[in-house]
Structure 1
Amino acid sequence: MIENITAVVTSFLEYIARLARWKKKLIVFLLDILLCVQSIWIAYSLRIGVWILWDIAVQKIVLACLLIMVPVFVLTGVYQAIFRYAGTGMMKILVRAFAAYSVLIALLFAVIGVDGVPRTIGVIQPVIFFILVGFMRVAARYLMIDILGRNRFAGEVKNVLIYGAGSAGQQLAASMRSEPAMRLCGYVDDDKRLNGQRLDGDKVFWSGDLPGLIEKKKVTDILLALPRINRKKRRDIVEQIREFKVHVQTLPKMQEIFSGSVSFSDIRELEIEDLLGREPVVPNELLFGRTIVGKTVLVTGAGGSIGGELCRQIAVSGARRLILLDLSEYSLYRIEKELQELAAARDGESLELIPILGSVVDAVRVREIFSRWTPDTVFHAAAYKHVPLVEANPVEGIRNNILGTQTLAAEAEAAAVKDFILISTDKAVRPTNVMGASKRAAEQVIQNFAAKESQTKFSMVRFGNVLGSSGSVVPLFRQQIEQGGPITLTDRNVTRYFMTIPEAAQLVIQAAGMAKGGEVFVLDMGKSVRILDLAETMVRLSGLTVRDEKNPEGDIEIVEVGLRAGEKLYEELIIGNDPQPTLHARIMKAHESFIALDALNGLIASLMDCRDPEAAVNMLQSLVPEFEHGRDNATMEKAS
């Protein structure tokens, strides 16, 4: 019987849902008229103490109320809102409409007066009418969304907990009610005083009971509605639930939610960057602006991960002109388009963007750029950085990373550029691959330029992996998880330093502000991370489990494929053992030895004409004596 009634109701609701928009508006309009008449009957009968359906007084009230209701409701937009999504927005419109309606009705009946009609009708009827209309809107929303929407949904319904019983969590819950694939099991909050209370009918649980709650409620997803918490707190929460098979998602930081309100569409995957990245340090404005504000800045490799982020921060920091140099047409197009939007939103003076296609190896092209645009500051981020590709193409890697740096630095010096900053890598320290050795050679090129008397201050900034870059393991692991695995891991003991791209770019710019010439600035990367732990965490954050000997029924397998040619088990940041502090807590400074200028120039001259891979690598070993080609840390340690 109940099933038959449900089927009839569902069929009727589906019929209503299929009607044209104007027909739905007409139905709502007619219902409001009926509710208006109903509210008049109730108000009048309550006032006189007898149920009266129709007399001369009721006729007068009906005529007056309808003549006022229709224009007021139409002009205030009551019938423009989408009826089935009645929520706070709809209620605001109704309150505005009824405020105007109530004033006019009270003025007519309570102040002016109508023969045969009690004056209190001017107060009672609008209140009853508002209650009836509000109830009908809420009921309709429940029928159209909770009943019809969920009956239509044929997929798997997820049991969801919202972590955070604040305003963001409540707004998220309200938005979730229109999602038939989600069933809200309640809120979780760290405040034990809220345990057992209810928000809009949904229970609040204490976070200390979360493990048992996940099992009891068969929770599949947890949404972190805590846009104001720091990364340490986020890490602690995830650590608490990482052993459970739940999918964790989060709201972005509050400053990223532009509208100031929260909806289900704001939810995003919990990125590994949210857990590994540190809390940002407020930049030193004097250091940040010295090489940028009011200046012409050239960024090579502008379309890359680090180059692009440097451009973004420069674009909003007061530069007069920003020159974007990149070899990739698409990368250059993409970053220019993004920067145009940033520049348009910038207060104060306009920013001139100069996109340039070209290679840093092309001396003629580089000379044209310096001659025409006369940059004050150069951030040299262009490089071939993918270890296996450079290993397979050593000549091109060496030419781009070493000869390109030599060409760019020589033209910068000739053009009297004030500041030149090379972006280097931790792989340049005791390198075991061509990429790392070529970057160490590029450092030595800059060190030699810095040793000469010059108007240009040459310096270098060295750091490790950045999260989310084109060469990072994070996007690779994410793609492999989405494909169902396996995750390919070179070695279970591999460790790497990680830093977010914005933090790295910000520190690079501040290091440039401290440069006096010849420094090797080293960024504080924090603690190194075991890549196996990173992979396992990413699997668990996706609501999946790792398949191994202990859990053969798991979802994603992690497979070791062996170290690639020239790859290290762990990376280092400093060649020596005596890093010096600087004005910035997260930037260190090292003075490292380098090959003599005459020997350097001779080897570079030979490299310019070399097209033989083996000969090029041999010359690279002469440039970088500590280069142990193809040997990992473990092998080097055993040999020593």
Structure 2
Amino acid sequence: MFIDKTILVTGGTGSWGYELVAQLIEKNPKEIRVFSRNETNQVLMKQRFENNPKLTFKIGDVRDKEAVLEGCKGVDYVFHLAALKHVPVCEFQPLEALKTNVVGTQNIIEAAIENNVEKVINISTDKAANPSNFYGFTKAMGEKLIINANVLTDKTKFVCVRGGNVLGTNGSVIHVFKHGIMNKGKIGITDQKMTRFFLTIKDAIKLLFKATYESHGGEIFVMKMPTCKIKDLAQVLIDVYSPNKEVIVEESGIRPGEKLHELLLTEFESHNTIVYDNEYFVILPTIPIDGLNEFYKGYPKVDLDTYSSSDNIIDYDEIKSMLKDGGFLE
């Protein structure tokens, strides 16, 4: 699929971008364009990939339509990763989140259509499902824009992939907990009952490719992901990194816009969702898109009201195994 193709990765210097680019290189593309606004991260990434000739680095912001149009010239596939992601940042600076997550997404859509891009894959989040914070609202709007883009053209296909927290990404709770355990002897948890979806970055990118290969355009692929209690995740890290020293766990209370449990599938969406396989659900849109319902004809509908992080929680040993597989336990 990617052999001799040109691929644009927005937000390409982030954690998802690094792993995506690393796996894309193995698929023999013609060129991978890493598009981001962080000059320092681009230089470091170029060095990490040893000046790989397949990588082209472009300074740009998805808010800047001209830069996006230029970046999409001659491109076959776009992976749209760029976003403002931190919930408190988006809560207190909502206009900035709107500019990047909504206007930026629309710029990607228009640039892709103008340049006859083959497929756009938009990376979304569990916070877009029944959003309780501004970040979630902007990502939900981004999903709607991406899905609707399929009725604007018959040349470019647009698809969303929705997942939960990816272990080890920038700002990940794992890094925060490890720093607190090893340097302060203290960590903070917002609520003892809080749960979250988690997946390793390598597994997340593998699933992302699967959705890229097999999607029709116009649907939302929902990753099936393990769920765990944040306090259990913290306890595994405490036991590994401070086995002989007590670590204080402080409960600070839920932050503005934060949920106790996350959703990957809402009650409303479940009416239009099919079970694709043992790794994905697929949410079909409420607007008509040519050929989409026929494409998924015969797949069973989900037998769920919602898909919540409070369900099917993995235990201590399973968390430890997940962290070990992800390379987070020394």
Structure 1 length-normalised TM: 0.43
Structure 1 counterpart of 2:132, one-letter code: T
1:470-481 equivalence runs, <5 A: 470-481=170-181
Partner-residue secondary structure (3-state), 1:311: helix
Aligned to 2:54: 352
Deviation at 1:577, TM superposition (A): 2.1
Aligned to 1:588: 281
Aligned match for 1:538, one of 237, 240, 250: 237
Q: Over the residues paired in the alignment, what is the CA RMSD in angstroms? A: 1.9
1:261-276 equivalence runs, <5 A: none
Q: Is the 8 A contact 1:413 1:454 kept in 2?
A: no
Q: Is the 8 A contact 1:484 1:555 kept in 2?
A: no
Aligned to 1:564: 255
Partner-residue secondary structure (3-state), 1:298: strand
Query: Does residue 457 in structure 1 map to residue 157 in structure 2?
Result: yes
1:407-422 equivalence runs, <5 A: 407-422=107-122
1:359-370 equivalence runs, <5 A: 359-370=61-72
Query: Does residue 432 in structure 1 map to residue 132 in structure 2?
Result: yes
- Give the greater-gyration-radius structure (CA): 1
Aligned to 1:280: none
Deviation at 1:592, TM superposition (A): 3.8
Structure 1 counterpart of 2:274, one-letter code: Q
Alpha-carbon distance in 2 for matches of 1:441, 1:336: 33
Structure 2 length-normalised TM: 0.83
1:342-375: CA deviation from partner (whole Å, max 9, x where unpaired): x4xxxxxxx522100110110111112223xx11
Deviation at 1:593, TM superposition (A): 3.8
1:263-316: CA deviation from partner (whole Å, max 9, x where unpaired): xxxxxxxxxxxxxxxxxxxxxxxxxxx2x2221000000000112211111011
Deviation at 1:492, TM superposition (A): 0.4
Alpha-carbon distance in 1 for matches of 2:9, 2:90: 22
Query: Does residue 378 in structure 1 map to residue 78 in structure 2?
Result: yes
Q: Is the 8 A contact 2:113 2:153 kept in 1?
A: no
Q: Is the 8 A contact 2:85 2:135 kept in 1?
A: yes
Partner-residue secondary structure (3-state), 1:521: strand
Deviation at 1:461, TM superposition (A): 0.3
Task: Structure 1 unaligned segments of length 5 or more: list them.
Answer: 1-289, 344-350, 546-553, 595-632, 635-640
Structure with the largest fraction of strand: 2
Alpha-carbon distance in 2 for matches of 1:533, 1:362: 42
Aligned match for 1:529, one of 208, 225, 228: 228
Structure-2 change in CA distance of 1:433 and 1:593 (3 Å): farther
Aligned to 1:394: 94
1:134-213 equivalence runs, <5 A: none
Alpha-carbon distance in 2 for matches of 1:487, 1:592: 42
Deviation at 1:453, TM superposition (A): 3.4
Structure 2 counterpart of 1:397, one-letter code: A
Aligned to 1:573: 264
1:519-573: CA deviation from partner (whole Å, max 9, x where unpaired): 10011113x100001111111111436xxxxxxxx61110000100000001111
- What is the count of residue pairs matched by the alignment? 287
Structure with the largest fraction of helix: 1
Structure 2 counterpart of 1:359, one-letter code: D
Q: Is the 8 A contact 1:544 1:556 kept in 2?
A: no
Structure-2 change in CA distance of 1:557 and 1:592 (3 Å): farther
Alpha-carbon distance in 1 for matches of 2:7, 2:237: 38
Deviation at 1:484, TM superposition (A): 2.8
Structure 1 counterpart of 2:203, one-letter code: E
Aligned to 1:318: 28
Q: Is the 8 A contact 2:222 2:280 kept in 1?
A: yes
Partner-residue secondary structure (3-state), 2:180: helix
Alpha-carbon distance in 2 for matches of 1:305, 1:442: 20
Structure 2 counterpart of 1:499, one-letter code: L
Deviation at 1:452, TM superposition (A): 2.9
Aligned to 1:515: 215
Partner-residue secondary structure (3-state), 1:483: helix
Alpha-carbon distance in 2 for matches of 1:480, 1:440: 33
Partner-residue secondary structure (3-state), 1:573: strand
Deviation at 1:506, TM superposition (A): 1.5
Alpha-carbon distance in 2 for matches of 1:572, 1:410: 30
Point out the more displaced range, 491-500 or 567-576: 567-576
1:450-475: CA deviation from partner (whole Å, max 9, x where unpaired): 13332000000000000001131110
Aligned to 1:245: none
Aligned match for 1:493, one of 193, 205, 210: 193
1:612-640: CA deviation from partner (whole Å, max 9, x where unpaired): xxxxxxxxxxxxxxxxxxxxx99xxxxxx
Q: Is the 8 A contact 2:163 2:264 kept in 1?
A: yes
Q: Is the 8 A contact 1:302 1:335 kept in 2?
A: no
Aligned to 1:59: none
Aligned to 1:302: 12
